[in-house]
Chains A and B, each alone.
Chain A
Amino acid sequence: MSRISSQLAGTLGLFRLGLRSGWLGVAGTILLVAGLITAVAISIDSLFSNLAERQQYEATLGESPASQAFNGRGYGLDTIGGITAYEVGFLGQLLFPLLAVHLALRHTRREEEAGRTELVTATRVGRLGPLAAGLLIVLFTVTAIGILTFAGTASVGLPLAGAGWYSVGTAALMLFFASLGLVLGQVAQSARTGYLAGLAAVTAAFLIRALIDGSGWDAVWASPLGWFAEFRPFGEPQVWPLAAFLVSAVVLVAGAGAIAVRRDLGAGILATPAGPERGRASLGTAMGLSWRLNRTAILAWSVTAILWGGVFGILTQEMAELVEADPTVLEALGVDSGSDVVTSLAVVVICLAATATAVQGMGRLISEESSGRLGTVLATRISRKRLWLGWWAVVGASAVAVQLLGCMALGLVSWAVLSESAAFSTAMEVGFGYAVPVVFVAAMAALLRSIGSRWSVLGWLLVGWIATVGFLAETLQLPEWARGISPLHLVGQLPQDELNVAAVLSLAAAGGALLVLSVGLMSRRDLAAG
């Protein structure tokens, strides 16, 4: 026992250090999660104040396989709490786990990668200290999220028992994914690899759940995200999901600890093999460098977009069957065909993957500049303008490629399951229709990056806002000007609306202007390091 306690030496000190150096991220995570849930609850409370409206909601959106695929199963949809949980569904199921994985990696592997763990563990800190401190930060954060979510939803007037169950469920969900993040932090040698693996795990969990719920299969146990809805906080609450989350979290944390006591500091358990002795000639060009440094992320986002498109393509059939059985649903949802509902939702996700590719690709230049590598490259005969434009061209083209690949997957699979070629052409039209907004986001990311590294985070806020407008604009009753910040919204909600050609042209012109401006700024300012 004393061996364990000596390996845990220094944990509390590291925990305090972690809070002090990372308080902004911890506070941001807590407020974002509790704030989003509370905002949705407030909005639902005002939108669906009478029972008849809620029953109408239950009968349409609650029955729609597309909605179930995105939001997860709905329970107690004739209550405000039930609708709130259902509406938080999509964004929450992606955002909360990703935030949790990020939190865990930020406080373990990233510190180690930066060499700070090496410094502190050379003092009287045990081998398990950094991991245990990371776990404490996770526990602190999810507890605070549980308490604040309960306070927020209870203050809106949701029943205390339901609010309590929902808050516990959210905290348990995040604890589970944070524990997964702790394991990834031990396995992966770089935090970036950890994030990508985390993203892959969350995407897989979501798509498995979406397929099960969208098809109505009796297999809610198959994905941890399926467990989340099964808390049924506003229906008849169940305890087994809590037990499942807690037991899995314990197992994951124990696994992380077992790796931590055995591995070398600074190493993962995935060894890096020796690589090529020479670089290809293309590596010494702006576009070659951009591709080489971004390709892992670009491939990851492409696979994500294709998987999304494919899975939701399968679900078009469920939706078509529903419409066949009850044509009034079309009117209630305001669309021409059942597959359009799926297409319009799936395309927003595909656009998110595409814009994330763009913002991440430009963001990669932050570490290039701050590490001095950009300066070293620019000390050769390549000009800033050429490097900048070449880098951007690869990032912008990849973003559009991610977009089109996702839509193509969606279109091809819907065509296959519906035997209607129109489904394919619709998906591709939507894909091309949103291509200009995606390029605009890439140009905006370039401009923000050219101003300075601190501004780049605004690019991620824009991506987040596109998601919020795409999925929660109605729910949160956002005013028109706020929706207009999303370039996707400006060109119309495809495929239901006609493509707004004037908006497309203005966005293209504005994007071009932003890019020119970014080149100008970049060639005028001092480099941060080099």
Chain B
Amino acid sequence: MRKSLSENLVQAQGLVKTFGAFRALDGLDLHVAEGEVHGFLGPNGSGKSTTIRALLGQLRLNEGQADVFGLHPWRDSVEIHGRLAYVPGDTSLWPGLTGGECIDLLGGFQGSMDSQRRDELVERFELDPTKRARAYSKGNRQKVALVAALSCDVELFILDEPTSGLDPLMESVFQKVIAELNREGRTVLLSSHILAEVEALCDRVTIIRSGTTVSTGTLEELRSGTLTTVEATTGHRPAGLEGIDGVTDLQYEDHPHGVRIRLVATHAAMPQAVAAVTAAEPTDLVVRPPSLEQLFLEHYQESGPGVGAAEPAGGES
């Protein structure tokens, strides 16, 4: 499933970073393919920001291979930074500077800011650039960082919980802008806790826990390893459901108009199971895949690597 080396803008394998005795990253893998919006998920303290800071060359890795654009994050950091833009999760700005000055400061250092696009984004995010940074709320500080990064003409955007503190209106502006950038062929690495945002934007996701990659793949792939609930009311008992491999928890209940059926099926068993139910002339049929929340809760909480995952962490193709 993994794309070939040349197509991956970010390629990280077996990353280890320790702070004293604490292993913040413990063999983490992350692969971001060119042109995709890649979701990066994990509970608080699982190592998302540490990974991003290592990719930016702010931290030196103890072990593991990481490259961005095929370059070394620590050694070639400046060359790498010229081709990406970054938004930190908790943006701190220079208190005495105005928002506009902060944007231009970062744009000046980045070097590829498009000033027309900058003005357009200031407008779309409804930011007052003449206010001093110390007077901004958290959401407004975040907007400054977003405008500064998103108006740069770069190949890769690294966004670390970029929308924390944004109101729902601005959240939707953000999603639109990211979708536009993605259509232009730009790549985005998006660390986020907002699952609706991830679902709307991301082509693939990587889920980590305690510094290790738990699972990675498209949302469909993630779902495919999980169980789907099917509920139906049919005129008569469907034949052959018991014989399908992967159908479990089968329940029948008599009903005034026929039979009420409830079953749980794996991704692979779905077509056969639904076909069998359909053949029994259902008056209603509900197929319920697990919600994203359920999916992530499962991964965040206790599942070991591979459970419910499309692809074992770091597995080769």
Residues of A whose CB lies within 8 Å of any CB of B are: 189-190, 272, 274-285, 288-289, 292-293, 371-373, 375-384, 524-527, 530
Which among A381, A384, A527 is the interface contact of B109 at CB below 8 angstroms?
A381
The answer, yes or no, to whether B2 is at the interface (CB within 8 Å) is no
The answer to whether residues A375 and B108 also contact, given A272-B135, A530-B88 and a CB cut-off of 8 A, is no
List A contacts of B53 (CB < 8 A): 375, 527, 530
Query: In the docked arrangement, what's the CA distance between A373 and B93, Å?
Result: 7
Give 4 new A-B contacts, CB below 8 A, not counting A373-B94, A530-B58: A272-B132, A275-B100, A376-B92, A380-B111
The answer to whether residues A377 and B88 also contact, given A276-B130, A293-B94 and a CB cut-off of 8 A, is no
The answer to whether residues A284 and B107 also contact, given A275-B132, A278-B129, A372-B88 and a CB cut-off of 8 A, is yes
Which among B79, B91, B104, B134 is the interface contact of A279 at CB below 8 angstroms?
B104
Evaluate contact between A279 and B109: CB separation under 8 angstroms. no
The answer to whether residues A379 and B81 also contact, given A283-B101, A283-B104 and a CB cut-off of 8 A, is yes
User: Smallest distance from the beta carbon of B12 to chain A beta carbons, Å?
Assistant: 17
Evaluate contact between A279 and B92: CB separation under 8 angstroms. no
The answer to whether residues A279 and B105 also contact, given A383-B77, A383-B78 and a CB cut-off of 8 A, is yes
Which among A274, A281, A526 is the interface contact of B60 at CB below 8 angstroms?
A526
Evaluate contact between B103 and A279: CB separation under 8 angstroms. yes
List B contacts of A285 (CB < 8 A): 108-109
Q: Which of A190, A285, A289, A379 has the most CB of B within 10 A?
A: A379
Query: In the docked arrangement, what's the CA distance between A373 and B109, Å?
Result: 13
> Which residue on chain A has the smallest CB distance to residue B53?
A530
Query: In the docked arrangement, what's the CA distance between A284 and B145, Å?
Result: 15
> Which residue on chain B has the smallest CB distance to residue A530?
B58
The answer, yes or no, to whether B59 is at the interface (CB within 8 Å) is yes
Q: Which of B58, B59, B131, B158 has the most CB of A within 10 A?
A: B58
Evaluate contact between A276 and B100: CB separation under 8 angstroms. yes
Write 8 A-B pairs (CB below 8 A) sorted by A numbering. A275-B131, A276-B100, A276-B130, A293-B94, A372-B88, A381-B82, A381-B110, A530-B58
User: Smallest distance from the beta carbon of B29 to chain A beta carbons, Å?
Assistant: 21
Q: Mark B43-71, 1 if CB is under 8 A from A, else 0.
A: 00000000001001111100000000000
Q: Mark B164-201, 1 if CB is under 8 A from A, else 0.
A: 00000000000000000000000000000000000000
Evaluate contact between B101 and A376: CB separation under 8 angstroms. no
> Which residue on chain A has the smallest CB distance to residue B83?
A381
The answer, yes or no, to whether B97 is at the interface (CB within 8 Å) is yes
Evaluate contact between B109 and A277: CB separation under 8 angstroms. no
> Which residue on chain B has the smallest CB distance to residue A189?
B134
The answer to whether residues A278 and B108 also contact, given A371-B92, A527-B59 and a CB cut-off of 8 A, is no
> Which residue on chain A has the smallest CB distance to residue B109?
A380
Residues of B whose CB lies within 8 Å of any CB of A are: 53, 56-60, 77-79, 81-82, 84-86, 88, 90-98, 100-111, 129-132, 134-135, 145, 158
Evaluate contact between B145 and A376: CB separation under 8 angstroms. yes
Evaluate contact between B94 and A376: CB separation under 8 angstroms. no
Which among B59, B97, B109, B131 is the interface contact of A382 at CB below 8 angstroms?
B109
User: Smallest distance from the beta carbon of A208 to chain B beta carbons, Å?
Assistant: 30
Evaluate contact between A375 and B102: CB separation under 8 angstroms. no
Evaluate contact between B109 and A274: CB separation under 8 angstroms. no
User: Smallest distance from the beta carbon of B297 to chain A beta carbons, Å?
Assistant: 30
Evaluate contact between B88 and A289: CB separation under 8 angstroms. no
Query: In the docked arrangement, what's the CA distance between A274 and B128, Å?
Result: 10
Evaluate contact between B109 and A284: CB separation under 8 angstroms. yes
Query: In the docked arrangement, what's the CA distance between A284 and B110, Å?
Result: 8
List B contacts of A527 (CB < 8 A): 53, 58-59
User: Smallest distance from the beta carbon of B235 to chain A beta carbons, Å?
Assistant: 63
List A contacts of B109 (CB < 8 A): 284-285, 289, 377, 380-382
Query: In the docked arrangement, what's the CA distance between A125 and B92, Å?
Result: 29
List B contacts of A381 (CB < 8 A): 78-79, 81-82, 109-111
Evaluate contact between A277 and B98: CB separation under 8 angstroms. yes
List A contacts of B107 (CB < 8 A): 284
Which among A275, A378, A379 is the interface contact of B97 at CB below 8 angstroms?
A275
The answer to whether residues A279 and B88 also contact, given A381-B82, A526-B59, A530-B58 and a CB cut-off of 8 A, is no
User: Smallest distance from the beta carbon of A47 to chain B beta carbons, Å?
Assistant: 49
Query: In the docked arrangement, what's the CA distance between A281 and B109, Å?
Result: 9
Query: In the docked arrangement, what's the CA distance between A382 and B56, Å?
Result: 12
Evaluate contact between A289 and B98: CB separation under 8 angstroms. no
Evaluate contact between B100 and A279: CB separation under 8 angstroms. yes
Q: Which of A375, A376, A380 has the most CB of B within 10 A?
A: A380
Query: In the docked arrangement, what's the CA distance between A288 and B94, Å?
Result: 14
List B contacts of A530 (CB < 8 A): 53, 56, 58, 88
The answer to whether residues A277 and B92 also contact, given A190-B134, A527-B53 and a CB cut-off of 8 A, is no
Query: In the docked arrangement, what's the CA distance between A524 and B145, Å?
Result: 27
Query: In the docked arrangement, what's the CA distance between A524 and B58, Å?
Result: 10
Evaluate contact between B56 and A379: CB separation under 8 angstroms. yes
> Which residue on chain A has the smallest CB distance to residue B82?
A381
User: Smallest distance from the beta carbon of A273 to chain B beta carbons, Å?
Assistant: 9
Evaluate contact between A279 and B94: CB separation under 8 angstroms. no
Query: In the docked arrangement, what's the CA distance between A527 and B102, Å?
Result: 21
Across the A-B interface, the 6 shortest Cβ-Cβ residue pairs: A284-B108, A279-B104, A279-B101, A381-B82, A275-B98, A371-B92
List A contacts of B110 (CB < 8 A): 284, 380-381
Evaluate contact between A283 and B86: CB separation under 8 angstroms. no
> Which residue on chain A has the smallest CB distance to residue B112?
A381
Which among A278, A373, A375, A378 is the interface contact of B101 at CB below 8 angstroms?
A278
List B contacts of A281 (CB < 8 A): 104, 108
Evaluate contact between A380 and B106: CB separation under 8 angstroms. yes
Query: In the docked arrangement, what's the CA distance between A173 and B304, Å?
Result: 67
List A contacts of B92 (CB < 8 A): 371-373, 376
> Which residue on chain A has the smallest CB distance to residue B128?
A274
Query: In the docked arrangement, what's the CA distance between A530 and B132, Å?
Result: 21
Which among B58, B86, B94, B130 is the interface contact of A277 at CB below 8 angstroms?
B130
List B contacts of A280 (CB < 8 A): 104
Query: In the docked arrangement, what's the CA distance between A431 and B224, Å?
Result: 77
Evaluate contact between B101 and A275: CB separation under 8 angstroms. yes
Query: In the docked arrangement, what's the CA distance between A377 and B85, Å?
Result: 10
Which among A190, A274, A382 is the interface contact of B95 at CB below 8 angstroms?
A190
List B contacts of A373 (CB < 8 A): 92-94
List A contacts of B94 (CB < 8 A): 293, 373
Evaluate contact between B58 and A526: CB separation under 8 angstroms. yes
List B contacts of A272 (CB < 8 A): 132, 134-135
List A contacts of B77 (CB < 8 A): 378, 383-384
Query: In the docked arrangement, what's the CA distance between A274 and B133, Å?
Result: 10
User: Smallest distance from the beta carbon of B120 to chain A beta carbons, Å?
Assistant: 14
Which among A189, A275, A282, A382 is the interface contact of B78 at CB below 8 angstroms?
A382
List A contacts of B132 (CB < 8 A): 272, 274-275
List A contacts of B90 (CB < 8 A): 372
User: Smallest distance from the beta carbon of A4 to chain B beta carbons, Å?
Assistant: 31
Which among A277, A284, A292, A382 is the interface contact of B129 at CB below 8 angstroms?
A277
User: Smallest distance from the beta carbon of B145 to chain A beta carbons, Å?
Assistant: 7
Evaluate contact between A289 and B130: CB separation under 8 angstroms. no
> Which residue on chain B has the smallest CB distance to residue A371?
B92
List B contacts of A524 (CB < 8 A): 60
> Which residue on chain A has the smallest CB distance to residue B93?
A373
Query: In the docked arrangement, what's the CA distance between A383 and B109, Å?
Result: 10
Evaluate contact between A376 and B104: CB separation under 8 angstroms. no
Query: In the docked arrangement, what's the CA distance between A283 and B107, Å?
Result: 9
